[in-house]
């Protein structure tokens, strides 16, 4: 989804905004606001905290637009600002031991998780997402990923940043991005393949709480 209301390139938009057409900042923000929200939500969990952080990040982005060098995409730059705010807020609000994202954490050293073993896979069409139950299963599985895996996963799969952009946004190596993405994907397959199959197979659809 990269439909832009304004076909000017990001660079041109930014130049115009800095040149005084301030209202064009809205056009710079709109195509990326949802992705940034998802990234932050994956990080902080609480939608209202995520919304605050996203607003602050875009406000800061505007205030400091002149310092944006254009080596990265605007969305990558805002992502970095937003993640810094999210981390600062988590440090303030919880007894959460501070985890450095620069290094491999415990979850990187833990033995690899094996995927769920299946004999066959019947494709689940996107229409299944019309059901709230299916969307909830997916959101839950993503939120249960270890934080460092989840952040990489969301940047790569949902924000569609490249491996290099993800590494730059998080200040970690490309190799670590690849390992975490791989592990996140396997872990999601492990939790979601069985759950989605039983939620979408017509004859196994549960109408009542399980009797077992």
Partner 1 sequence: MELNCRHVWEFLSGYLDDTLDAAVREDVERHLAHCEVCSAILDSTRNILVLTADDRVFELPVGFSDRLHARLNELIGEDPTSPEKT
Under the criterion CB under 8 A, does residue 46 sit at the interface with partner 1?
no
Greatest extent of the chain over all pairs of C-alpha atoms, in Å = 68
| Alpha helices (H) in the chain, listed in sequence order | 10-18, 25-29, 33-44, 47-63, 74-93, 106-109, 132-143, 147-153, 163-170, 174-200
Which of 94, 98, 121, 212 touches partner 1 by CB under 8 A? 121
Instruction: Note whether 177 and 170 are within 8 A (CB).
Output: yes
Pick from 100, 84, 73, 78: which is nearest to 44 by CA?
84
Which of 71, 95, 117, 211 touches partner 1 by CB under 8 A? 117
Q: Which stretch binds partner 1 (CB under 8 A): 4-12, 90-98, 99-107, 181-189?
A: 181-189
- As measured in angstroms, the least distance from the Cβ of 207 to partner 1 is 23
Under the criterion CB under 8 A, does residue 135 sit at the interface with partner 1?
yes
**Contacting partner 1 within 84-113 (CB under 8 A):** 112
- As measured in angstroms, the least distance from the Cβ of 208 to partner 1 is 26
Under the criterion CB under 8 A, does residue 205 sit at the interface with partner 1?
no
Under the criterion CB under 8 A, does residue 62 sit at the interface with partner 1?
yes
- As measured in angstroms, the least distance from the Cβ of 22 to partner 1 is 5
Which of 11, 12, 26, 96 touches partner 1 by CB under 8 A? 26
Under the criterion CB under 8 A, does residue 157 sit at the interface with partner 1?
yes
Under the criterion CB under 8 A, does residue 23 sit at the interface with partner 1?
yes
Cα 14 to chain center, whole Å?
A: 25
Measure the CA–CA gap between 65 and 93, rounded to whole angstroms: 29
Instruction: Note whether 79 and 32 are within 8 A (CB).
Output: no
Please give the radius of gyration of the chain, using alpha carbons only, rounded to the nearest integer: 20
Measure the CA–CA gap between 178 and 167, rounded to whole angstroms: 9
Cβ-in-10-Å burial (0-12, 13-18, 19+) of 152 comes to buried
Which of 11, 115, 201, 206 touches partner 1 by CB under 8 A? 115
> Which stretches of the chain bind partner 1, using CB under 8 A?
1, 22-23, 25-26, 29-30, 33-34, 37-38, 41, 47-48, 51, 54-56, 58-60, 62-63, 112, 114-121, 123-124, 126, 128-130, 134-135, 138-139, 142, 157-158, 160, 178, 181-182, 185-186, 188-189, 192-193, 196
């Amino acid at each position: 989804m990269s439909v832009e209301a304004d076909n000017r390139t990001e660079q041109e938009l930014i130049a115009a905004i800095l040149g005084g057409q301030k209202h064009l900042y809205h056009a710079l923000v709109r195509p990326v606001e949802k992705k940034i929200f998802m990234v932050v939500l994956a990080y902080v969990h609480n939608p209202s905290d995520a919304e605050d952080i996203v607003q602050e990040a875009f406000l800061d982005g505007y205030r400091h637009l002149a310092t944006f060098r254009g080596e990265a995409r605007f969305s990558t730059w805002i992502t970095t600002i937003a993640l810094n705010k999210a981390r600062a807020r988590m440090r303030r609000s919880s007894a959460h031991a501070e985890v450095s994202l620069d290094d491999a954490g415990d979850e990187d050293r833990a033995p690899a998780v094996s995927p769920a073993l299946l004999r066959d896979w019947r494709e689940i069409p996107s229409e299944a997402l019309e059901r709230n139950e299916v969307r909830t299963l997916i959101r839950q599985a993503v939120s249960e990923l270890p934080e460092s895996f989840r952040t990489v996963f969301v940047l790569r799969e949902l924000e569609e940043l490249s491996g290099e952009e993800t590494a730059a946004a998080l200040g970690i190596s490309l190799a670590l991005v690849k390992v975490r993405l791989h592990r996140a994907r396997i872990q999601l397959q492990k939790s979601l393949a069985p759950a989605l199959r039983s939620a979408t197979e017509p004859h196994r659809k549960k109408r009542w709480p399980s009797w077992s």
